[in-house]
Amino acid sequence: MAADPPVSDAAERRRLVTAGLAFFGVLVVLIGLVAVFGGGSGDERETPVTTEACATDDAACRAAQQSGERPGIIPQPNEGHSPTDAGEPGGWEQVALFFALVAGLAVIVALVVRSTRRAAGRRTPDPDAPHSDPPDRDAPGRAPVSR
């Protein structure tokens, strides 16, 4: 595989800014499309005016409330039912979305690491810095080193 040609810092910066602007432009367009075609009718939901947990004619609920075993809004572990619809919590759509997000983050991290390593490889060494490379053992004029 051929190595990429060296890219200047200004060109790299320009490419990153262009990619960022393109990303945010697409994001704005998508948000606009959802706002326009989202189908939100704006109708208010009808909610009961009462704040009682039990209906007035539900004797079993009232008895449970008065005995101290109040029905809770938040289900306890192992209560309820397994998901029947793909969009319910724990359904395959939600699990797939989780793994898609994790995979997307992994791709982003991998691209950042790769870009950082390429940039570090393109840096030119300082000519005034002392070299820490060991001398070449087979350089002309030197006797071979035996171990």
Whether this prediction's pTM lies above 0.75 is answered by no
The answer to whether the beta carbons of residues 115 and 109 sit under 8 Å apart is: no
* Domain annotation covers residue 107: yes
**In the chain, how many domains are there?**
1
- Residue 146 located in a structural domain: no
Q: Cα(109)–Cα(96) distance, rounded to whole angstroms?
A: 20
User: Does any domain span residue 94?
Assistant: yes
**Residue 68 maps to a domain:** no
- More confident of the two residues 89 and 140: 89
**Per residue in 66-99, pLDDT tens?**
665 555 677 777 777 777 877 778 788 888 999 9
Of 118, 116, 124, 120, residue with least CA distance to 5? 118
Domain that holds residue 99: 87-111
